[in-house]
Homo-oligomer: A and B are copies of this chain.
Amino acid sequence: MSGTPTSNHAHRDVVLETARLILADNGVKGLTIEGVSARTGVAKTTIYRRFRSKQELALAVVRQMTAEVVAVEQHGNSRARLVAVLERAVTLLRTTVMGKVMKGLVSDIATDPELGAAYHREVISLRVTTVHDIVQDGVASGELKPETDAGILHELLFGAVYYRLLLNGGELESAMADRIVDAILPAFLIHPSH
């Protein structure tokens, strides 16, 4: 009648999937361990054994979704590659539950050091690396100024997106990635187009 015979993974997945559904419907505020327990049939205790808090659970969903968007290797000039990277982020935020989740989760990420570290490790650092690589290649190919600071470039690119998402209250347009890159890049190009 109970006592799942299978491994501990089955539960994990059910819980994660349900969490994602709840997040889609009601955001992070609507996500409660109690609710997930009720909807999955998985006992509260069991959930607590795997996720210490609803934030951790939500972050696990974020991690999962981010992992699903496999980083396809991008080719082309610096501009194209930067747009591609940024566009992936914008699209994820625009078209999936990711936007809602990040809105609800950002305060916890910013506040809880452990959660913040996890987010940085699993999401941010990938972006930093990617932008850094692009910059390195661009400098090597003579496209970008040698003194280009990949760190600040990364913050400018993604900052604009999240600022609008979280504080500026506007919609993320699909062309946003293009517009941002075009606005910034002239500052880093050796030969701005005009």
Among B104, B162, B180, contact of A167 (Cβ-Cβ < 8 Å): B162
A14-73: which residues lie under 8 A (CB-CB) from chain B?
27-29
- A residues contacting the other copy or chain, number (CB 8 A): 43
Chain B nearest Cβ from A133, distance in angstroms: 18
CB atoms of A163 and B165 under 8 A apart: no
Copies in the complex: 4
Q: From residue A79, how far is it (CB to closest CB) to chain B in Å?
A: 13
Say whether, besides A29-B111, A104-B111, A109-B166, A161 and B160 are in contact (CB < 8 Å): no
Which residue in B27, B155, B161, B183 is a CB contact (below 8 Å) of A149? B183
Structural contact, B187 and A109, CB atoms closer than 8 A: no
A113-133, CB < 8 A from B: 116-117, 119-120, 124
Which residues on B sit within 8 Å (CB–CB) of A29?
111
- CB–CB A180/B168 < 8 A: no
Chain B residue numbers with a CB within 8 Å of A169 are 116-117, 119-120, 124
Interchain residue pairs with CB less than 8 A apart (16): A104-B107, A104-B110, A106-B107, A107-B107, A109-B166, A116-B169, A120-B167, A149-B183, A153-B183, A155-B163, A155-B168, A158-B163, A159-B164, A162-B167, A186-B187, A187-B187
